[in-house]
Amino acid sequence: MYKLSKIAKEKFTYQDVMDTYPKLDYQELYHVIQNWLDQELIVPVKKSGMTSFRPSLYHEYKKIVIKQDYSMYTDLIKSLHPKLNISRYLSHPQNYVKQQEYIWMLSEFFWKRGQDMDAKMSVNEKSFEIWGDEKFLDSASGRKLLSYNGLVIEDFGCYKTPEPYFSAVYDWDFQDKAVIIIENKDTWYTISKLLKESAKKQFWDIPVAMLVYGEGNKAARQNGMTEFLQDYAISGAAIYYFGDIDAAGIDIYNRVVRANKQLNISRFMPGYKAMVRKAAQSTMRPTDDTRKLSYPEEFLDGFTIEEQNVIRHTLKHQLRIPQEILNYQDYRLLCR
C-alpha cells in the first residue's frame, strides 16, 4: 500500500514520507520504514541521527540502487545489424532491453531485406512492413529508436501523407480561374453547394475551378496547401483566401501566406467587403479569443475608408465578423 516509488528523492527524511502519506501517524510511519528496511529497499543514513520519539527512527534514509546484470544481452547486441548503433547499446544495455522487441525486428529487416530499405512507401506502409505496426515508425517511440541509431524516416524511402483538405473541383482547366480557400466549414459547404448547382461556376463573376475547406488553422500548416494543390497540377489559377474578420482570422490568413510562399495567396476581397458591409448594419459579438493578437495594417489595403473604420472598430473592441454573417440567401444571388 505504501510504495517507496512514490518518494522521488534518492535520499529522503522521515518527514518526506509523512508528507507523501499525510494520514500516517508516527507509529504507522515507523512500521512502514521498518518494512522497507526489512525488504532491503533502503538503508539509514546514520550520521543524520535519530529521533527523540519512541520507537526511534533515523532522520534520513537512502534508497538502495540494485545494479542489474546485463551480461546476458551482450551476444544479442553484438549480433545486431551493423547499420545499428551496436557500440552504444553495449555501453548502455539497459536501452537495448527497453527497445529490444522493436530493435530486433529492425535488425532482422536489415539482414534479410536490406535491399528493400529504399523502396518507396508511405510512412505507415513502411512501418507495417518492418514491425507489423503501421503506427510505430512515426510514433514517439519509433522516432526515439531511429534517433538513437542515427537514422531518420527519410532513410527508409518513406513519403509522408498529410491529411488531405476537403475540396470541390468544378473545372480541371485552372487557367484564368480561381482557387478559393475557405476558413470555415459552413461557408465552404454553402458556397460549394451553390456552385455545384450554378451553370457558369462563377462566384462574384469570378470563374471558380476549386473551392478548398481550409479547416481553420490546418491551412497554416507549413507547405500543406502548397503540397495539396501541387497534386492537382494547378497552373495559371489565382489563389484566394476567405475567412473571419477578427484578430484570429487575420492571423490565420497571414500564417497561411507565410507557410505557402510559392502560391501567391491573396485575400478574396469581394467576400471580405460584403462581410464588412453587412457587419456595419449588425451588432457584432465579442470574440472568445483572449490572445490579444495584433494585425498588420496591410490587411486594410483595398477597403474603403468606411470599411476600414468598421474593421478597426471590430478589432479595437475585440469583436468578430464571422464568415457566417453571409448566408445561403446572400450567396445564392452571387453564384451563377
pLDDT at 118: 77
The CB-based long-range contact list for 172-176 (8 Å cut-off, 24+ gap) reads 172/209, 173/209, 174/209, 174/210, 174/232, 174/234, 174/235, 174/236, 174/237, 175/235, 175/236, 175/237, 176/207, 176/236, 176/237
Whether 63 shows a pLDDT value over 80: the answer reads: yes
Q: Distance between CA 274 and CA 323 in Å, rounded?
A: 10
Computed over every residue of the chain, the mean pLDDT equals 88
Instruction: List, in order, residues 6 or more apart from 46 with CB less than 8 Å away.
Output: 58
What is the DSSP code string of 163-210? PPPPEEES-S--TT-EEEEESSHHHHHHHHHHHHH-SS-EETTEEEEE
pLDDT at 292: 67
Higher per-residue pLDDT: 297 or 272:
272
Pair 49, 92: CB distance under 8 Å: no
Q: Tens digit of pLDDT for each residue in 65-101?
A: 777 888 898 999 999 999 999 999 999 998 999 889 9
pLDDT at 164: 62
Higher per-residue pLDDT: 22 or 161:
22
Over residues 124-145, the mean pLDDT reads 87
Query: What number of other Cβ atoms are within 10 A of residue 264's Cβ?
Result: 9
Q: Tens digit of pLDDT for each residue in 25-55?
A: 889 989 999 999 998 888 999 998 998 888 9
Higher per-residue pLDDT: 94 or 233:
94
Write down the pTM of the prediction. 0.57
pLDDT at 163: 63
Whether omega for the bond prior to residue 55 falls within 30 degrees of 0, making it cis, is yes
Q: Which of 14-18, 277-281, 301-305 has the highest mean pLDDT?
A: 301-305
Residues, the chain, total?
336
Q: Tens digit of pLDDT for each residue in 142-193?
A: 999 999 999 988 888 887 766 667 787 878 888 889 999 999 888 998 998 8
Q: Distance between CA 140 and CA 150 in Å, rounded?
A: 15
Q: What are phi and psi of 15, to 5 degrees?
A: -70, -35
